[in-house]
Structure 1
């Protein structure tokens, strides 16, 4: 995870899906290399709180929404 004042960046697919299901939007998909991509979100206090909840295992999301979001993200990763 790397973040600055402007954006929040993560390569963590599970975290990305959790953030999307929680209402945050992937602003950019940065293809760092052919094997690695980084998801970019607009940084903010609300986003950072959700990230902290995720890492503390306190974040709860609807399981089917989460699974469907994983499929959407994977499709976006594999498109050329």
Structure 2
């Protein structure tokens, strides 16, 4: 089986394994890729050039975002399913 792998420019993407952070980001922006390490750790990648990306990131770290709890946990389940289905 041949897998098509795109070479990504690391400067164009934000990469994190922080599940809380990536859950919040994924409510606003699409996940571009999931990078699973041999250790089992997964990094999720988001495009930095998405409009408003830096603003949402700053608001997250400044604790200025308000997310509805059921929406957050529903998205968290979706992300976990994607991570574990790509094994």
Q: TM-score with structure 2 length normalisation?
A: 0.78
Higher strand share: 1
* 1:17 match: 23
Q: TM-score with structure 1 length normalisation?
A: 0.84
* 1:70 match: 76
Gap runs ≥5 in structure 1: none
Deviation at 1:32, TM superposition (A): 2.1
- RMSD of aligned C-alpha atoms? 1.4
* Structure 1 residue ranges (4+ consecutive) displaced by more than 6 angstroms after TM superposition: none
- Count of equivalent residues: 76
Gap runs ≥5 in structure 2: 1-9
